[in-house]
Structure 1
Amino acid sequence: MVEQQLVPRGIEDQRVLDAMRRVPRHLFVEPSAAPYAYEDHPMPIGDGQTISQPYIVALMLQAARIGPEDVVLDVGTGSGYAAAVASLLGHRVVSIERHPGLAVGAAATLDALGYRVEVVTGDGTLGWPSGAPYDVILAAATGPDVPDAWWAQLAPGGRVVMPVGRPGGAQHLALFTRADDGSVRETDLGGVAFVPLLGEQGWPERPPRG
């Protein structure tokens, strides 16, 4: 996976590559999908959700530049795979999931495999204030913009990596970097296709017609 899919496509951060080598991706997908877990496409994980393809996970983590002392908020735990990889890069990871069943399953998997990740259930668009401030916020769902709650919980110099755009429409993966003076720089990392970021500061559960 690393040598054939990630390195040739421009993933060059050695810490990210080493972390991707260490996490057993086949243990984070449905058993029937395990033989295909290392192929470069999304995989089902239950509750109608998917785990992102390896390249996208690596691209987001590389863009986030997670340092050994960084605190990370992972929005959209899913099966816990991205949180597991992030936990090998940073100091502390809080991962929030809106589906209680997925959160319980991910927490059990992460604990059994020895990854230190705090999994919580809630509206990811509101972040998780008790764990703030965060040096990095990662989101596995596309929103209309960065939620205000995330800005309130992001440390100076912090980074947000998330897809932006309409569900089923044009989306791009974006890196938002906050400078010490509060200004923000956005970097477009390319086109993507993600599920919607649902919640109070994301897309509504039932979008209005039109």
Structure 2
Amino acid sequence: MNSAVARKRMVAELVKRGITDQRVINTMLELPRHIFVEEAMAAQAYSDGSLPIGEKQTISQPYIVARMTELLALTGREKVLELGTGSGYQAAVLATLADRVCTVERIRPLAMKARKALDSLRLLNVNLKIGDGTEGWPEEAPFDAILVTAGAPALPECLVEQLAPGGRLVIPVGDRVDQKLLVIRKAADGSVTREEADDCRFVRLIGKNGWNDE
């Protein structure tokens, strides 16, 4: 597999589907997505679909990674919270586009694999911990941007509280099968606006402020 050629094809498809943020495009053109999936699936890493990564979890399709990142409108100066590290690929994208990333994963084997992949790319601005992402990371708050990579039954208020004035939060909210991407913006005066973006389909956000693990 020529990964550089595969990435060019992947990014061309993202642009065709409406991704316009040039920083997001450049980042996804450079990052080796195949190191974040199982070796047996490396040939499928650049197709526009989700892939299993073990522990009943998936790596999101490239389009949804690009779309959610684009909605955050990162400039490079932000401190970002990601909930649901998974494979680590989304964290890698964020780490390339922001100043610092704090990411939380509840499943230890996935967190260990993600850390190894991130370290192999020398993405040293990623702080990863194992825990309940639905509670955010209050010790590190406030955050300029928050990205949730699993579907929640409702918007956890604690995440809104951990968002800095002027910050953006992107989260899938809905039932166990289908969700809507919500974009939450907190103004300088602390007021909050809520906008619906795309339809989407994610694994469930498990934890205290999400779905229970049953």
Equivalent residues in 2 for 1:24-173 (5 A)?
A: 24-116=32-124, 117-168=126-177, 170-173=178-181
- 3-state secondary structure, aligned to 1:143: coil
User: What residue number does 1:205 align with?
Assistant: 213
Displacement, 1:43?
A: 1.0
Coordinate RMSD, CA, aligned: 1.1
Q: Distance in 2 between matches of 1:3 and 1:92?
A: 24
Calculate percent identity across the aligned residue pairs. Answer: 47
Secondary structure class of the residue paired with 2:87: coil
Cα displacement (A) at 1:2: 4.2
Note if contact 1:2-1:17 (Cα within 8 Å) is conserved in structure 2: no
Unmatched segments (≥5 aa) in structure 2: 1-8
2:17 corresponds in structure 1 to 9
Deviation at 1:152, TM superposition (A): 2.0
Maintained 8 Å contact 1:76/1:124: yes
Does structure 1 retain, via aligned residues, the 8 Å contact 2:87–2:110?
Answer: yes
**What is the CA distance between 1:3 and its match in structure 2?**
3.8
How far apart are the structure 2 equivalents of 1:61 and 1:190? 13
* Other-structure match for 2:5: none
Residue 153 of structure 2 aligns to a residue in which SS?
A: coil
How many residue pairs get aligned? The number is 205
Q: Contact 1:20–1:85 at 8 Å: present in 2 too?
A: yes
Given that 1:74 and 1:138 are in contact with CA atoms closer than 8 Å, whether structure 2 keeps it comes out as yes
Distance 1:67 1:130 in 2: 24
Bigger mean CA deviation after superposition, 50-59 or 136-145: 136-145
The runs of at least 4 consecutive aligned structure 1 residues that moved more than 2 Å come to: 1-4
CA distance in 2, matches of 1:2, 1:130: 37
CA contact (8 A) 2:11 2:29 kept: no
- TM-score normalized by the length of structure 1: 0.94
* Worse-matched range after superposition: 3-12 or 47-56: 3-12
Cα offset, 1:145, TM superposition = 2.2
Q: Deviations over 1:119-141 (max 9, x none)?
A: 11000000112221101110110
